[in-house]
Amino acid sequence: MTFKMHNDSLPLIWSVSAWLNGDVRSVHPTKQLLLDTAVSLIDQFGPQGFTVDNLLDASKISKGSLYHHFEDFHDVIEQAQVTRFARYVDEDIRVLTSLLTSASSREELGQRFTEVIMASAALERAEARADRATIVGLSRHSKKFADALALEQQRLTDSLADVAREMQEREWINANLDVYALATFVQAYSLGLVLNDVTEKPLSSQQWSTFVATVLGNSL
């Protein structure tokens, strides 16, 4: 088994870096390389599928440098998982906020929203849903981990609430709706499909998308 970084390994985003270091500009290159390598290895082998020696071999970083920047190997894994969670958050923000910028009317917004629902419910997204749910579950055992995920999750909810607020100003959705409740619902119907992914007789993407679109259409 060869342990190496994927070429498309993502750099730390601002909010994760801020949590780790207080200021994105203060992130040490060695620390970032270790985190990026850990993210890549988790993507390939899972959080328990490699050792500290594998991480050091893939990153070409010494053990002394690792323990200078992290409390221990477990700390590396936790921080890498936060980075991976942030990646999912960024993807959701990009897709969902594009609805507003690309739609020119309430009708077009509804059509594009249905397309997004279909895409989020696709079987190809099952692994990402399960991975994200797993990361949330793991955070229950570490306050530091949980606090970091809370920061990322709030960033997503705030972004979606801003989109909803803008749609209210355009009079495309009900002005009396709680934008934070709507933002939470939008996330819940997507991530909640993790239950459908493991059931004996799962709903099809079309069934789920039609139902959600009907509920939203009657509510908005």
Q: What are the pLDDT tens digits along the chain (220 aa)?
A: 444 444 443 333 334 444 444 444 467 899 999 999 999 999 999 999 999 999 999 999 999 999 999 999 999 999 999 888 888 778 777 877 787 778 888 888 888 877 878 877 888 888 888 888 999 998 888 898 899 889 888 988 898 899 889 889 988 889 999 999 998 988 888 888 899 999 999 988 888 888 888 888 777 7
Cα–Cα dist 167/5, whole Å: 41
The HSE-up count of residue 210 (CA atoms within 13 Å, CB side) is 5
Radius of gyration of the chain (CA): 20
In degrees, rounded to 5, the angle at the alpha carbon of residue 86 between the alpha carbons of residues 83 and 91 is: 135
CA distances for 169 relative to 106, 131, 165, 166, 218, angstroms: 12, 36, 6, 5, 19
Q: Is residue 127 exposed (0-12), middle (13-18) or buried (19+ Cβ within 10 Å)?
A: exposed
Q: What is the DSSP letter of 7?
A: T
Cα–Cα dist 128/156, whole Å: 16
**Please, what are the domains in the chain?**
14-70 (1.10.10), 79-219 (1.10.357)
Q: What is the dihedral of CA 175, 178, 179, 181, to 10 degrees?
A: -150
Cα–Cα dist 156/162, whole Å: 10
